[in-house]
Structure 1
């Protein structure tokens, strides 16, 4: 079985890129429900999707470039690998091969298992259980390219070689640590996390659900200094999207006589005449 490498990475079959994905510089993320992309809406420069309460969802990350990338993915401000809230560069990351797309179904809870993302309310969210609900309703992905090193030429002359500065060793492949990997005590802020601000509990958030098999392995990945792209998608339940003016309010009109006549039927399929004595 192929494994997902961590800085972190999962080696999966490449998937076609979708035109409905939220994209920056070609890199993209999509929210999937039942394996299909959820419609994304753009409002005041932000991307929104409609949360469907109780439904599981996944996040598909796509790399359309000829180079490997490492992606820090956070849901509700919690890293999808270790549930920490850090700066993007210090965060644990998923590594994608050239032209690869991977689907992240939930938070990675061990080297072999993950637990599903699903839409819920703040009081039932994973962020509330962790104790930090400041960033609920947001899915964020930050993409980093792999750092390239100049090719070191070989010196044939011994005297020239002795005068030349020693070349730095090439980064090792396979298992190892990355500059972008979060240390066990990594933290985006010092001190304690402030308690969540009390608010009405009907807003969308993400819960941590059923367990599934998702094997990963750590790999070495030397990040470029600056990210190549950063993408955010907000999710809200329909009433909030209506209040924001993103979706129209539904108005159910009473049926007209013409509607009634248009739906007239001479017979119904199956059934019998009602018996008043029973």
Structure 2
């Protein structure tokens, strides 16, 4: 059955932090305006990243196994290739063994995507197409490929390179996959427990610490979504992929919002000044009052 295969192959994940290390694939979110991978924060079994409004981003998917996999990418509950309300049975991206790819946007045709960018929820592609309920999460449903059966005089006599549809050696990713029975999506299992708060050294008083905490609780932004940005070149072609099962072998997910919102929700624990015991003689002379 027809699937898409991206013509872009990326090196293995180098210094980019993996958003989720699954058994089959790793996913991470890359801020394309800074060129850095977004740091992940764990809370209550989920992983989060903080996006910057207006910045473009990509979803990097890395195949961890020595066989091809199909990755069905959902952004805000929308299939990133077809634009349908996301379901694991839909089209996705095919990655060769140990290959990785960056998906930069909503696929418009075989040679272009509309860039992913962080924007206000009301301006997100999902909200603008009447589907705002799942804005703020990126998910990948992963399928293994059905194994080939060895038959004398056919597969067994064919060179290994001829047993699959031809694909450029420098490529990894993309794909409409065969229709199968709908499968329930399972939230990604986050490995780490919530981060421990860092403690900043200093001579702040107890009042300073309380004021600092209140300031961060009250600075909340409008929720983020993923916009339908400018078009850019992204070449893909078709390949064949038969799923080994109707249900995904793995589902990995990562949630996102603005930094201030994640702080306000307690996902990101910011450093706070240490509240010290009041001291009767903090200094020797009387300072001028603050103007």
| Equivalence for 1:237 | 258
**Secondary structure of the equivalent of 2:65?**
coil
C-alpha distance after superposition, 1:78-112 (max 9, x if no partner): 11111112420x21111111110100100011111
Q: Structure 1 stretch 34-43 or stretch 6-15: which is displaced more?
A: 6-15
Q: Which runs of 5 or more structure 1 residues have no equivalent in the other structure?
A: 1-5, 156-169, 189-199, 258-278
1:56: how far off?
0.6
1:11: how far off?
3.2
Q: What is the TM-score with the length of structure 1 in the denominator? A: 0.70
1:53: how far off?
0.7
**2:37 is equivalent to residue 30 of structure 1:** no
| Equivalence for 1:39 | 39
**2:10 is equivalent to residue 11 of structure 1:** no
Q: 2:222 aligns with which of 202, 205, 211?
A: 202
Q: What is the TM-score with the length of structure 2 in the denominator? A: 0.67
Q: Which runs of 5 or more structure 2 residues have no equivalent in the other structure?
A: 155-161, 168-174, 184-219, 275-282, 284-291
Q: Output aligned runs, 1:245-260, within 5 Å.
A: 245-249=266-270
Pair 43,26 (structure 1): closer, same or farther in 2 beyond 3 Å: same
**Secondary structure of the equivalent of 1:247?**
coil
Contact in 2 for aligned 1:174/1:220 (Cα 8 Å): no
Contact in 1 for aligned 2:58/2:105 (Cα 8 Å): yes
Tell me which stretches of 4 or more aligned residues in structure 1 moved more than 4 Å: 249-253
Q: CA RMSD in A?
A: 3.2
Q: Structure 1 stretch 90-99 or stretch 12-21: which is displaced more?
A: 12-21
Q: Structure 1 stretch 19-28 or stretch 233-242: which is displaced more?
A: 19-28
1:179: how far off?
8.5
1:153: how far off?
2.7
Contact in 1 for aligned 2:93/2:176 (Cα 8 Å): no
**Secondary structure of the equivalent of 2:132?**
coil
1:221: how far off?
0.5
Q: 1:217 aligns with which of 229, 237, 244?
A: 237
Aligned residue-pair number:
219
